[in-house]
């Protein structure tokens, strides 16, 4: 029985190009752990240097314009001098913030708002943040009923009474301090530490400790309060993904503290 011979030729090769698969864009990266630490030390050094320069100029002007001024007494009062605190916070905050922006711009491919987390927050988020602030404030009032620390109250009162022009102190405490501290601790340091092996938990705890260590003018109780606030702020920063959330909490907290100081004086 006759049959057709088998086709011994190889099948034709499909020369059509494979369908193109879209490549997802690379996620913009932040500075690594050691770069974050290194730049962070430089930022803090600039911040501290600006504070020292303002203090030196302030003491020099006071010494040259006031006859018979006791330099030793002046130096001992510097930590609670409201006018000096206002000038130092504003000047060092501007200097520190400027270098944060500069080092972020060094990192190509990511904007300042993306890097630091300036993401828009919704009205619902603001409402939740307001509730968080209310809870923290009530807990603080409750703790103050059992733990009284005259040192912290005296510092705040003395700073306000010696501020010369109170609006300058209000601006320093409610605006300039929160902007720099949040951009530095919950912004620049937080994102760099979070992307390292420390992870989110390590970033929250470490930035809270560093933030508390910056406020050595307060008592151990005051610094512990700031430490706990720093942990809460770090959690809020992680959950919302926005630096605006902690800026809001920080500014409102400082505003409430200033109002409390004024009410105590009057």
On whether the CB atoms of residues 81 and 160 are closer than 8 A, the answer is: no
| Rounded CA separation 56/99 (Å) | 22
| C-alpha separations of 225 from 8, 95, 110 in Å | 85, 27, 35
Percent of the chain past pLDDT 90, that is, above it, reads 69
Taking residues 95-101, report their average pLDDT.
98
The pair of structure tokens assigned to 89 is 């916070």
- pLDDT at residue 10 above 80? no
- pLDDT at residue 122 above 70? yes
On whether the CB atoms of residues 89 and 181 are closer than 8 A, the answer is: no
Higher-pLDDT residue of 165 and 3 is 165
| Rounded CA separation 193/207 (Å) | 9
| Rounded CA separation 49/148 (Å) | 34
Q: What is the pLDDT of residues 31-82, one digit of tens each?
A: 999 999 999 999 999 999 999 999 999 988 887 887 655 666 666 667 789 9
| Rounded CA separation 206/213 (Å) | 11
* Cβ neighbour number for residue 95 with a 10 Å cutoff: 20
| C-alpha separations of 260 from 17, 138, 141, 174, 235 in Å | 72, 13, 11, 13, 26
Q: CB neighbours of 151 closer than 8 A, spacing ≥ 6?
A: 218, 219, 222
Q: Give the residue among 246, 142, 132, 136 at the shortest CA–CA distance from 185.
A: 246
The pair of structure tokens assigned to 218 is 């307060």
On whether the CB atoms of residues 86 and 172 are closer than 8 A, the answer is: yes
The pair of structure tokens assigned to 180 is 């720099």
Which ranges constitute the DSSP H helices of 6-81? 33-65, 71-77
Higher-pLDDT residue of 28 and 54 is 54
Q: What is the pLDDT of residues 139-196, one digit of tens each?
A: 988 887 887 766 778 889 999 999 999 999 999 999 999 999 999 999 999 999 999 9
Q: State whether residue 118 is helix, strand or coil.
A: coil
Confidence of residue 18 (pLDDT cuts 50, 70, 90): low
The pair of structure tokens assigned to 162 is 């010696």
On whether the CB atoms of residues 189 and 250 are closer than 8 A, the answer is: no
Q: Per residue in 253-264, is it b (16+ CB within 10 Å) or e — as a string?
A: bbeebbebbeee
pLDDT at 219: 87
Taking the model in full, what pTM does it have?
0.87
């Amino acid at each position: 029985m006759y049959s057709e011979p088998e086709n011994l030729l190889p099948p034709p090769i499909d020369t059509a190009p494979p369908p193109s698969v879209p490549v997802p864009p690379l996620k913009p990266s932040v500075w690594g752990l050691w770069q974050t630490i290194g730049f962070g030390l430089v930022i803090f050094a600039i911040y501290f240097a600006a504070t020292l320069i303002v203090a030196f100029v302030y003491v020099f002007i006071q010494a040259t314009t006031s006859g018979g001024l006791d330099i030793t007494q002046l130096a001992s009062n510097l930590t609670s001098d409201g006018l000096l605190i206002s000038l130092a916070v504003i000047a060092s905050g501007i200097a520190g913030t400027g270098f944060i922006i500069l080092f972020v711009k060094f990192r190509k491919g990511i904007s300042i708002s993306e890097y630091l987390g300036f993401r828009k927050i919704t009205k619902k988020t603001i409402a939740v943040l307001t509730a968080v602030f209310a809870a923290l404030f009530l807990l603080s009032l409750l703790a103050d009923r059992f733990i009284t620390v005259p040192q912290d109250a005296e510092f705040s009162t003395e700073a306000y009474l010696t501020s010369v022009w109170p609006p300058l102190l209000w601006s320093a405490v409610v605006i300039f301090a929160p902007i720099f501290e949040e951009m530095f601790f919950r912004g620049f340091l937080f994102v760099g530490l979070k992307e390292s092996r420390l992870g989110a938990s390590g970033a929250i705890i470490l930035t809270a400790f560093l933030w508390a260590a910056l406020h050595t003018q307060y008592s151990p109780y005051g610094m512990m309060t700031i430490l706990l606030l720093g942990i809460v702020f770090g959690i809020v920063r992680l959950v919302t993904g926005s630096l605006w959330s902690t800026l809001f909490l920080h500014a409102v907290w400082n505003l409430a503290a200033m109002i409390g100081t004024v009410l105590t004086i009057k």
